[in-house]
Amino acid sequence: MIETASESPVLLDVRDLRVVVAGASSEATVVDGVSFAIRAGEVVGLVGESGCGKSLTALAILKILPEGVARIAAGRVEFRGRDLVSIGERDMRAVRGAGIAMVFQEPLSALNPVMRVGDQVAEGILAHERVSRAAARARAVDWLRRVGIPSPESRARAYPHELSGGMRQRVLIASALACRPSLLLLDEPTTALDVTVQAQVLELLDRLRAELGIAILLITHDLGVVAGSASRVLVMYAGRIVEDSTARDLFREPKHPYTRALLDARPRVGERRGLRAIPGSVPDPFAFPSGCRFRPRCPLAAEPCAVEPALLEKDGRRVACHFA
């Protein structure tokens, strides 16, 4: 899936995005000044531990944050030059599915349990296009076939619980692509699947990306997933981007200590050493440490780290570390 898109126009431009969540007596900033761009046809990985703000970033792009719990506090999310933060819900509904689509982490909870899967794929088509219900159902069956579901005509009449986890994930992918969006957000698309099915889903996404020319934001905690999938990688920690690099440069020479720790924590075939876990845990957003947020866990932490490092660009890479 690795492919550069340096000459392609910018499709999505996120600038200084801030998302806050409500607590008992105060708010916490869980996505803090995040900026990045995705070009047409590009595959970008967004990686980091659970709780770092990856999924909330994706939900903010589509403006589907849980109401009363989280909200966009500042920033711009420009899609094809149009700021999605400032448009109304009616206009936003036209973007979801037809312009930007999302595949969620757990397909069993993302799919309607009392609705046949073919009808769920057809539902998105009917919401965005003026076609008959019969035509939408026929297209839904065709999309189930395209994502590799055997006997799609009969499987279209099945309910989600009657399908395997891998098949349910393929249904979500079919539903997301049915209106041919130009950007696909994938939130941990292989986490709940075994290794063999993970590889099949990633190969499927690679093929469909090439066929449709779509851009992808691949959200995962697993650097192994983005290693063979993304051309560029964003590393996120405690609500902030700490490294932004081409995948090749990041795996060859990671600049941020957190990126190095993530790479070091990966299991390696043939090595007998145990997993090298990163000490500590992602900090509570209501109690972020002062200065660099990775400082309490960082082996390089020193006096300069008492000041939050800026995300600076050098040689085409962005890194937020005093020692980069």
Q: Which residues pair with 220 in a beta bridge?
A: 47
pLDDT of residue 228: 83
What letter does residue 245 receive in the DSSP assignment? E
Helical residues (DSSP H) of 193-316, grouped into ranges: 195-212, 223-227, 247-252, 257-264
pLDDT of residue 181: 96
**Over the chain, what is the mean pLDDT?**
92
Question: pLDDT at position 122, please?
Answer: 97
Q: Distances from the Cα of 133 to the Cαs of 115, 122, 125, 139, 204, in angstroms?
A: 15, 8, 9, 10, 27
Q: Give the residues of the chain that fall short of pLDDT 70.
A: 1-6, 192, 267-275
CA distances from 95 to 61, 82, 309, 318 (A): 11, 11, 35, 30
> What is this structure's pTM?
0.92
Domains of the chain (ranges, CATH numbers): 10-99+183-190+219-268+276-319 (3.40.50.300)
Q: What is the largest CA-CA distance in the chain?
A: 67
CA of residue 307 relative to chain centroid, distance: 29
Q: What angle do CA 308, 300, 46 make, to 5 degrees?
A: 60
What's the pLDDT score for residue 113?
A: 95
Q: Position of tokens 């719990």?
A: 69
Closest CA to 184 of 70, 64, 33, 38: 38
Q: Per-residue pLDDT tens for 133-167?
A: 999 999 999 999 999 999 999 999 999 999 998 99
Rounded Cα gap, residues 155 and 227, in angstroms = 33
Give pLDDT, residue 274: 61
Closest CA to 101 of 168, 178, 36: 178
Alpha-carbon separation of residue 261 from 212, 234, 241, 293, 310 (angstroms): 35, 15, 15, 15, 20
